[in-house]
């Protein structure tokens, strides 16, 4: 499965989600249990193309022992062909991605990360809050939330239920 996490600038949430998912997949699942995972991230805006992740995000990753190797890039319509799953970090990013999707098939790949949380079908989809310009504690909260939701995503990948979450998300956006 080819997964791309998408936030606004691709320097806080999405590169953190990419690094967290990669580490959790390696640590918590046996080799091959999840199939071939390709994990990437991008932003809907071009503000930080070519730049490393935000210093506060990198500091929190280092504190947790999570390696991050990323440079910001912008997600565009042509990128849909490269991924099976395009995961938005909040409702605004989800709307932006659906707006640039070249067709219905591409738009059907878009889902918010919060849609994978237990109970999301009953309680609604939570956003991963943008920590940009907030104190260090906002990055701690972001990482905690991303770890929780990434585990839930990996559980769906392992169980083969990602398609069900995508269908539920698509129905909710109609």
| Choice among 7, 12, 79, 96 that is catalytic | 7
Catalytic-residue membership of 13: yes
- The rounded Cα 9 to chain-centroid distance in angstroms is 13
Buried b (16+ CB within 10 A) or exposed e, 5-17: bbbbbbbbbbbbb
Q: Which of 4, 12, 13, 73 is catalytic?
A: 13
Question: In sequence order, which ranges of 43-135 are alpha helices (DSSP H)?
Answer: 55-64, 91-100, 104-107, 120-123
- Is the distance from CB of 3 to CB of 87 less than 8 angstroms? yes
- Residue tagged active-site, from 40, 79, 90, 130: 130
Residues marked active site are found at: 7, 13, 130
């Amino acid at each position: 499965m080819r997964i791309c996490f998408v936030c606004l600038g691709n320097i806080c949430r999405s590169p953190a989600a990419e690094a967290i998912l990669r580490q959790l997949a390696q640590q918590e699942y046996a080799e091959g249990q999840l199939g071939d995972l390709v994990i990437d991230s991008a932003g809907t805006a071009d503000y930080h193309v070519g730049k490393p992740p935000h210093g506060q995000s990198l500091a929190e990753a280092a504190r947790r022992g999570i390696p991050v190797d990323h440079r910001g890039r912008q997600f565009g319509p042509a990128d849909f062909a490269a991924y099976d799953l395009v995961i938005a970090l909040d409702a605004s990013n989800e709307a932006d991605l659906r707006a640039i999707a070249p067709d219905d098939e591409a738009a059907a790949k878009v889902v918010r990360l919060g849609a994978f949380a237990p109970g999301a079908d009953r309680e609604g989809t939570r956003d991963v809050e943008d920590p940009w310009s907030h104190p260090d504690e906002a990055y701690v909260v972001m990482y905690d939330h991303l770890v929780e939701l990434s585990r839930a995503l990996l559980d769906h990948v392992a169980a083969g239920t990602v398609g069900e979450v995508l269908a539920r998300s698509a129905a909710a956006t109609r």
